[in-house]
Chains A and B, each alone.
Chain A
Amino acid sequence: MNHDYISFLKSAETLGASYADIRSDKKKTFTLTRRNRITTHSGGQLNEGYCARAFREGRWIYGVTTERGALNRIAQTCCSPLRTENRENRLSVELPAITSGSFILPPKMPFEDTPSEEKISYIKKLEDEVYDCARTVRDLSITLNSFEREVEIYNSSSERVFSKICGIKLSFSITCKKGGKIERCWKDWGGVGGFEALQAKQSYIEEEMLNMTRETDSLVTAPYPTSGKYDVILSPSNCGAFFHETLGHAAEADNIASGRSLLKGRMGEQITSREVTLIDDPTYLSLGVRPYDHEGMKSKRTVIIEEGILTSYLHSMETAATQGSEPTGHCVAENYSYTPIIRQSNTVLSPGEYSTEELLEDVEHGFLLGEISGGQVTLSEGTFSITSQISYEIKKGEMVKMLKGATISGDIIQTCCHIDAVGKEVEDHIYLCKKKQIDSQARIVPMIRIRGVMLGGRK
């Protein structure tokens, strides 16, 4: 172990910390962007630094630095007693132990080593197809983004956990314009590994990109949906965001500890309709994969809701200890400059038995919400909102009209109890979560149908 690490861990111990760890975190990203047939730039980020923590007298204290030599100074500052401390509020728990281990997922075709001509011609081919597909394209941006992250954790029990994961993402943004009217749609695709991860999905990506181009073209002149209470079908990308934002965040044990979550004290209770089995799976090989979290804890596939019953929260070392639960390994940091917080990984909804036609046929008048635009919850109020980029009006079981995006909003539990059907065709979508820190994960989910949801349109 490096002497700066030893020095920090020893200083922390000498100054009374019962536990301390250092996360050495190296994250490289490479980007190539083309906008309107021009390569705007080729870029890279080399993020390298250290996050040190000490658990002293029931309190976490953190330090972040880009210079390894500064770790000892952090130990001295972190562990000096505070005059303002309130002894009554200290945590009197023993943190769960981590054990040494490592995980390496090497790319077959590292993005950095792929010739730039190959990357540019890959994007150019996609551009040509998009421009051929619609004459109204006004702005087209395609970005290739890869990352490679090495995380090494040393702790005061002399355990070492190492992980190295690579991933790649393709971001697509298209704007169509007719006269004075304009609309934009966007989507990301990606996976773990190098350039081969995109090549494996090539035909799927091309098909989706062209579908989105045609939809954006039509969307420019499409009307807005009318506000009201409707039956709603959520597309897989919307469904993934819905569960991630609502029950996913509510199951994060830091939200339980702070009293914000509507799931506090409801373990074992019926939370949703019986159609719902919701899993957080950090072992699924997509952008949310992490065999170990950033405290060094082994990450576990965790069933949050089983046939409507709340079965588990997602934990860090601290919340597992304070709430008397098994650790689940869900404490993650965006890069070296952030302290780890409880995060979801890949959201999985077990498929049901309904085909798309069967989901539609029971809807008298409602909407199908297409590609996700964004979502957010107010956990303390127990409410959510999800906005789509596009929507379709359904009448008597048929999709009759394309409309601009819409927002659905309501009480989380009430809405989840109104899910009466889950589709059988599962899709894998990439999504960004912004819980204080940015993280990309996958949603492996089918469509769902919800009865009687408030939808916000234009009037």
Chain B
Amino acid sequence: MRGEEKKREKGKNIVKDIMSMGADEVELMESHTENISFFSSKEKKYSLYSEHEYALRVILDKSIGFLYFNTPTSDIASLAFKMAKSAGPNPRWKSLPLPQKVDFVPGLFHESMEDIEITDLFEGLKFSIKEDARIQRVESGGFITINTRSITNSHGLNLSEKSSKTGMYTSCRVKSDQGSGVGFKSDSGIIYDFDAQSLAEYAYEEAVTSLKKTKIEDGETNVVIAPVPFSNIIVNSAVPSFLGDSVQEGVSLMGNELKKKIAPAHFNLIEDPTIPGRSQSRSFDDEGSPAQKVPIIQKGMLNGFLYDTLYGNLTSGSTGSCVRYSKYRGKNLRFLPQIAATALSIQGTSYPLCEVLQEMKRGVILGGVANVHAVNPMTGFFSLPVTSGFSVEHGEITGGIKPFLITGSSFEMIKGISAISTERKRTQTSLWPTVVDTGHIHTQSLTCVHL
């Protein structure tokens, strides 16, 4: 801990040095991460990771300079100042956040995470699946991350928060003369207490169920979308239109829809990073603004957008939604903070999944899609290959479906949502730093095309 305190002291000195060079404002964010990743299949692997990172924002005559570094050398202050000097003024710039009251979210860190040995992790990963000659490969793994992030700026803002995050997954691949099937199941939280046996059993059952594949009928179809593909589709194709920078730059299709009905009356889309004990929660955003619950869609009505300080100053202020991340990487300090959703929740009329399927009667379940990074983030249009699909007849799953394409518009898909299953899952999406909490979604107006 002493080492970390020393590093923070060095960071504060850098802020002072830059201010003494003539900067108008300076902000320093620091992050210390300890991570163990582990993997088990025919062989076992693990990797250790220890990283201390810094990111500076320097403001000089409304010009914004940015510098990421992980070794605080003597020339850092002058280089960061040079960055601000070399950028032109941004007329929208007003100020870095001023110190505000922050209500700290409880339960974001669990001490047990600091004492876990590598051997305990592999012990926790043990499971047994029944003997089955069709099994080609079973893989499992997980991670533990402990992170402390701190933010300080020249207005006296000084905040720090420690969190832990852990996860586990199992995938199973089976093959028979009927074809091949893949199953996958994961879980995450802040404590390493997963049920490896049930994850493995689920992955195995899903793989076996998808073995016998039939061809899908082309055309508009009733669809139930599982939480993982739905989260990825919605975050990549619809959520960009709810971000304040898109709205203010005039490139959001939702920019003129505020207070208008854009979804069924039972549907809510809520950003809430303030729920205690959740790994995606936080007390303040990555420029120090207090985290807030933001109902984006409430009772089918577009209620609001997400903002950081820069774009929030053009409207009613920041919603505490400024995040340091890069696409495909999730959260990291290497880029300027940007507006993003991090903790979305999809809510609406809910039934158990079996009743959702009964209501659907005949249709398909989308278990997985690929190529979500190629959806259109502006129009919401997508045409995606389905990597895992199941047919439903008379409300019952009857088997897997051969690869097919699903096409549609995310905004039309939202309008067509009739129910959400009560069995929910939190999904870390693949491109954005966004976790989505949702059940299976029953919707219409999507088109299937067999390959």
Interface residues of A (CB under 8 A from B): 31-32, 35-36, 38-49, 59-67, 70, 74, 77-78, 82-86, 89-91, 116, 120, 138-139, 175, 177, 180, 182-184, 224, 227-228, 258-259, 337, 339, 373-378, 380-381, 383-385, 387, 404-407, 409-411, 434, 438, 454, 456-459
- Residue interface bits B134-165, CB-to-A below 8 A is 1, else 0: 00110000000000000000000000000000
State the CA gap A174–B8 with chains docked (Å).
Answer: 41
Expressed in whole angstroms, the minimum distance between the Cβ of B75 and any Cβ of chain A is: 10
Residues of B within 8 A of A339 (CB): 47
State the CA gap A298–B11 with chains docked (Å).
Answer: 40
- B50 at the A/B interface (Cβ < 8 Å)? yes
Expressed in whole angstroms, the minimum distance between the Cβ of B345 and any Cβ of chain A is: 27
- B180 at the A/B interface (Cβ < 8 Å)? yes
A45, B68: Cβ atoms closer than 8 Å: yes
Residues of B within 8 A of A70 (CB): 50
Residue with the greatest number of chain B CB neighbours at <10 A, chosen from A378, A385, A405: A385
Residue of A nearest to B241 (CB): A182
- B130 at the A/B interface (Cβ < 8 Å)? no
Residue of A nearest to B91 (CB): A38
B52, A82: Cβ atoms closer than 8 Å: no
Given contacts A258-B41, A376-B374, A383-B385, 5 further A-B contacts (CB under 8 A): A41-B83, A77-B118, A139-B249, A227-B449, A378-B387
A-B contacts, 19 of them at CB < 8 A, read A39-B90, A41-B90, A61-B47, A64-B47, A64-B48, A65-B50, A65-B51, A84-B122, A85-B44, A86-B44, A138-B249, A139-B250, A175-B251, A337-B49, A375-B371, A378-B387, A405-B376, A407-B383, A410-B451
Expressed in whole angstroms, the minimum distance between the Cβ of A412 and any Cβ of chain B is: 11
Expressed in whole angstroms, the minimum distance between the Cβ of A121 and any Cβ of chain B is: 11
Given A40-B64, A387-B374, A404-B381: A89 and B403 within 8 A (CB)? Answer: no
Residues of B within 8 A of A384 (CB): 385
Residue with the greatest number of chain A CB neighbours at <10 A, chosen from B47, B76, B249: B47
Given A65-B51, A383-B403: A82 and B44 within 8 A (CB)? Answer: yes
Residues of A within 8 A of B45 (CB): 59-62
B51, A337: Cβ atoms closer than 8 Å: yes
A46, B69: Cβ atoms closer than 8 Å: yes
Residue of B nearest to A31 (CB): B66
State the CA gap A385–B242 with chains docked (Å).
Answer: 28
Interface-side segment among B107-115, B289-297, B328-336: B328-336
State the CA gap A421–B90 with chains docked (Å).
Answer: 51
State the CA gap A59–B378 with chains docked (Å).
Answer: 46
A39, B447: Cβ atoms closer than 8 Å: no
Given A65-B50, A385-B385: A380 and B71 within 8 A (CB)? Answer: no
- Residue interface bits B166-210, CB-to-A below 8 A is 1, else 0: 000000010000001010000000000000000000000000000
Residues of A within 8 A of B118 (CB): 77, 82
Residue with the greatest number of chain A CB neighbours at <10 A, chosen from B48, B70, B118, B383: B383
Residue of B nearest to A116 (CB): B86
A227, B447: Cβ atoms closer than 8 Å: yes
Residue of A nearest to B118 (CB): A82
Residue with the greatest number of chain A CB neighbours at <10 A, chosen from B51, B52, B87, B387: B87
User: Which 4 interchain pairs have the tightest Cβ spacing?
Assistant: A374-B374, A43-B66, A116-B86, A39-B88
Residue of B nearest to A77 (CB): B48
A177, B250: Cβ atoms closer than 8 Å: yes
Residues of B within 8 A of A376 (CB): 370-371, 373-374, 385
A378, B385: Cβ atoms closer than 8 Å: yes
Q: Which of B77-118 contact A (CB under 8 A)?
A: 79, 83-92, 118
A183 partner, pick from B84, B85, B378, B447, beta carbons under 8 A: B378
A380, B70: Cβ atoms closer than 8 Å: no
A374, B373: Cβ atoms closer than 8 Å: yes
Q: Which of B399-415 contact A (CB under 8 A)?
A: 403, 405, 407
State the CA gap A459–B137 with chains docked (Å).
Answer: 38
B44, A84: Cβ atoms closer than 8 Å: yes
